[in-house]
Structure 1
Amino acid sequence: MKVTVDEEKCCGAGQCVLLAPEVFDQRDEDGIVILLDDGPAPALHPAVREAASVCPAAAIALSEDA
């Protein structure tokens, strides 16, 4: 799995951080997503998929090819 985020789309809701804190964080000043791991371990894939699906701004993109 390859994870990418679009900081321009991010609205700072923070659902990704709650669901997969090993993969996502937020900037202190504005809450915009910070990608900590663009190739998470397989054990984290379900949480990352859920984070992408619930992102209100659709700022998280996943590629299952990587």
Structure 2
Amino acid sequence: MKIKADTGRCVGAGMCALTLPEVFDQSEDDGTVEVLDPEPPAERAAAVRRAVQLCPSGALSLDSIEE
């Protein structure tokens, strides 16, 4: 899976960073999402999906990667 973040849509709520700080952070400049690991390992898939679902602005999305 690959994480996509639309920083223009992000409202800086921080739910992603609170849910999964190993994968998401917030910019010190404006509080918008920063993706630390855009292609996290499979064992984090459920937590990543949860973080994407919790995003109040819908700024996060997932793409499947075929191997």
Q: Which residue of 2 aligns with 1:13?
A: 13
**What is the DSSP-based 3-state SS (H/G/I as helix, E as strand, rest coil) of the residue aligned with 2:25?**
strand
For 2:29 and 2:38, the matched residues in 1 are separated by 22
Match of 1:2, as an amino acid?
A: K
**What is the DSSP-based 3-state SS (H/G/I as helix, E as strand, rest coil) of the residue aligned with 1:13?**
coil
Q: TM-score when scaled to structure 2?
A: 0.90
Structure 1 residue runs without a partner (length 5+): none
Q: Supply the RMSD in Å over aligned alpha carbons.
A: 1.0
Structure 2 residue runs without a partner (length 5+): none
For 1:46 and 1:14, the matched residues in 2 are separated by 18
For 1:10 and 1:39, the matched residues in 2 are separated by 20
Tell me the percent identity.
Answer: 44
Match of 1:12, as an amino acid?
A: G
Q: TM-score when scaled to structure 1?
A: 0.92
For 2:14 and 2:56, the matched residues in 1 are separated by 10
The count of aligned residue pairs is 66
Runs of 4+, deviation exceeding 4 Å: none
